[in-house]
Structure 1
Amino acid sequence: MSAVAAPDLREVNRRFYDALWRDARLIQPQRFNTWSLVDELATGTPRRLEIAPGLRPRLPIAGTAFADISAPALRQLGAHGGHAVQAQADALPYADDSFDLLCAFDIIEHIEGDEAAMAELARVAAPGAVLLLSVPIHMAAWTVFDEFVGHHRRYEPEALLALLARHGFATQRSAAHGMQPESTRLLKLGMWFLTHQRQRAMWWYNHVFMRFALDTQAPLALQPGMIATDGVDTVLLVCRKAAAA
């Protein structure tokens, strides 16, 4: 299956996530199973950037730069001490070599021009910077959920590693990741409520489903290099940008 065509994927994403974050609660990064990894990497690293976190940031909020297209998310991130700007991943308003730790969770699959987005991440990353990246993998696993939330593609693991390498990032560690329900029936039910009864759906999402998902997260099991990806829906990669010659 090839990448999914859409007449204006950026606008689809903006409408969907503006509506989602307008009624959602900001969740502190300490609640996610990525926190021990993030805490290790962020300690003593003040130059941090997270791309399009919405209200689910993984990096420490205070002092971190956040670039997102969603105004409701940016308002809350700024109110909690983040340096929040409205910007797109393929046109970042930062100087070259500005950051030592970058994070892009479940983002580049939403962008038609993923080469441009990766080029921007590489441009603003200082030599030796760490990039935390997560993406859905295997186009054969495509579901209606991918289309509903504005995905442009899923990645084949070898193609993902090649994309990173073209922009100077080497993969050091990886792990299975993601909080998407496995039940297709549950996904369809959730999407129906988000479409037809958004306020009720958001109440359940904030007060029940998200809390349950956070409480039942499996520990992050990082392994060297790329993990075996059979049966994996989303992969998290710890990458490092090549140091200056």
Structure 2
Amino acid sequence: MQPEAGRRPLSGAALREANLQFYEILWSGARLVPPERFNSWRLVRDLAARHVRRLEVAPGLRPRLPIPGTSFVDLSLAPLRPLRAAGGLVIRGLVTDLPLATAAFDLVCALDIVEHVDDDIAAFSELSRVSAPGATLLLSVPLHPEAWTAFDDMVGHHRRYEPAQLLARLAEAGFQLRRSAIFGMQPRNQRLVDFGMRYLERHRSRAMWWYNRVFMPLGLRFARPLQVVEGLVGLAGVDTVLLVCEKRTTAL
């Protein structure tokens, strides 16, 4: 579950600090995007209607769950005030050490986060701990270590997952896969990724402005409808997958 041979991803405190710096800058210049604007909304809306006790981990200013009444945990300070103002219940924390009670939630959302942490076993363990028996987990991760690009470095990834290893992590944490979908907004054009990297390195604040004010709105507008299937979607050539899982009610 590591980057391609020859790359040495950051780890430990260095990884955490790099992610914190990147996303504090990103969110400090961003506006809160309501979850209704994402192609995940139809799926989320139906789940949220059945689950009052809801948690989203590391949403930034792009939450997917309904904001009023939902608990949000994020390491970055910048998103917490806007989420609170919109009716969310916010607290600062890490996915590897959630400051929340055990079995407190029936719907847990952790999109694009476990690939950012050094200790993903602890992350999956914490997501399981705060999930009540029978709870639904929405999880998204990037796939295929051989597909590692400069984009992964840019956004602070520590790993990409092999599908079998990802399913093993979920099973070890007590989750069963129910449904899945192709997910994510990473550019497919490698030249565009390389240009973005160079621009980000030289003009970070300006690059963040363009992302927040231009590329993100365009991505939302032209995003394809989310096609959710039973079981595991075909993953050949898929960059990011969204999994809908259920917390087992009894131990294996």
Whether these two folds match at TM > 0.5 is yes
Distance in 2 separating the partners of 1:77 and 1:157: 33
Is 1:165 matched with 2:171? yes
The offset of 1:196, in angstroms, is: 2.2
User: 1:80: Cα distance to partner?
Assistant: 1.1
Structure 1 residue 200 displacement after superposition: 2.5
Q: In structure 1, how many angstroms separate the alpha carbons of the residues matched to 2:114 and 2:58?
A: 10
Partner residue in 2 for 1:6: 10
Is 1:144–2:150 an aligned residue pair?
yes
Q: CA-to-partner distance for each residue in 1:5-64, whole Å, 9 max, x for gaps?
A: 314111110010001100011110000000000000000421000000111100001111
| Alignment partners' CA distance in 1, 2:213 and 2:17 | 28
Point out the more displaced range, 195-204 or 126-135.
Answer: 195-204
Instruction: State the partner residue of 1:205.
Output: 211
CA RMSD of aligned residues (A): 1.3
Q: How does 1:108-187 map to 2 (within 5 A)?
A: 108-187=114-193
Structure 1 gaps, min length 5: none
Q: Distance in 2 between matches of 1:53 and 1:191?
A: 23
Equivalent residues in 2 for 1:66-145, closer than 5 Å: 66-145=72-151
Percent identity, aligned pairs only, is 55
Distance 1:2 1:17 in 2: 22
Q: Structure 1 residues 164-173 or 44-53, which shifts more?
A: 44-53
The CA deviation string for residues 169-195 of structure 1, in whole angstroms up to 9 with x for no partner, is: 000000100001111111122222233
Structure 2: unaligned runs, 5 residues or longer: none
Residue among 194, 217, 235 paired with 2:241 = 235
3-state SS, counterpart of residue 238 of structure 1: strand
> How far is 1:199 from its partner?
3.3
Equivalent of 1:45, from 33, 51, 67? 51
**C-alpha contact 2:137 2:245 (8 A) present in aligned 1:** yes
User: Residue 190 of structure 1: SS of its match in structure 2?
Assistant: helix
